[in-house]
Amino acid sequence: MKFFVDTADIAEIRDLAASGLLDGVTTNPSLILKSGKPMLDTIREICAVVPGPVSAEVTATEHGKMLEEGRKLAKLARNVAVKVPLTPDGLKTCKVLSGEGTMVNVTLCFSPAQALLAAKAGATFISPFVGRLDDIGHDGMSLIAEIMQIYRQYPHLKTEVLVASVRHPQHVVQAAKLGAHVSTVPPNVLRQLFKHALTDAGLKAFLDDWAKTGQSIL
């Protein structure tokens, strides 16, 4: 499974990229607002740090304007994935941009039927929002299972399932068990994947014993 980080905070991205764990980045208008920086400058900066796909979202809702925005975003860097909503106009835009060789991330997916449409429109990634489904009493991970089942029936569909709206480490583990291609996670959730009480306890025991030896490696 590939790990993308869901943030526009360049300091967080640099820190996580240094671990070698990041395969890409996803952003959206809300994350850009939180960063407090101009969108285009932020996307350029992220693309220079992370060589993998960096999702940058259009803000228009009408096909012509979406296409214009998408083409502008795609010119920022070779690794930009233009993010469009799962609407009729969004899928029209996806079809054109993907035909031009641009990576496209179709976002706000909440049903397997929507995911099938996005794949047929040539999406590079489909982003099902598991956490938001959980929030309204649905099982977000069952959506991932259904999409993966459908995509496996049609090997010619090359769209990757990018699990989004991830709220905790178990979402990541469950997505990996289902064979999802990518999870995009907030920085705090990605760091939680490192944590285990037995790891911390074991390291402390080793260090305590090492201190008793009075030795130094350096």
Residue that has been written with the tokens 């101009």 in this structure:
38
The pLDDT, as a whole number, for residue 175 is 98
Task: Tell me the per-residue pLDDT of 105-129, one tens digit each, with 9 for 90 and over.
Answer: 999 999 999 999 999 999 999 999 9
Task: Tell me the per-residue pLDDT of 72-96, one tens digit each, with 9 for 90 and over.
Answer: 999 999 999 999 999 999 999 999 9
Residue that has been written with the tokens 């794949």 in this structure:
119
The pLDDT, as a whole number, for residue 105 is 98
User: Which regions in the chain score pLDDT beneath 70?
Assistant: none
Q: Catalytic annotation on 37? A: no
Q: Is 10 exposed, middle or buried (0-12, 13-18, 19+ CB in 10 A)?
A: middle
The token pair at 149 is 């089942």
The pLDDT, as a whole number, for residue 78 is 97
The pLDDT, as a whole number, for residue 108 is 97
Instruction: Sketch the domain layout of the chain as residue ranges.
Output: 2-213
The pLDDT, as a whole number, for residue 189 is 96
The pLDDT, as a whole number, for residue 120 is 98
The pLDDT, as a whole number, for residue 86 is 98
Catalytic member of 83, 177, 195, 204: 83
CA angle 106, 112, 118 (to 5 degrees): 30
The token pair at 14 is 């640099």
Which architecture does CATH list for 2-213?
A: Alpha-Beta Barrel (3.20)
The pLDDT, as a whole number, for residue 99 is 98
Question: Could you tell me the CA-to-CA distances from 49 to 10, 22, 23, 143, 172 in Å, in that order?
Answer: 9, 10, 11, 32, 24
E strand spans, the chain: 2-6, 24-26, 54-57, 80-85, 103-109, 125-128, 160-163, 182-185
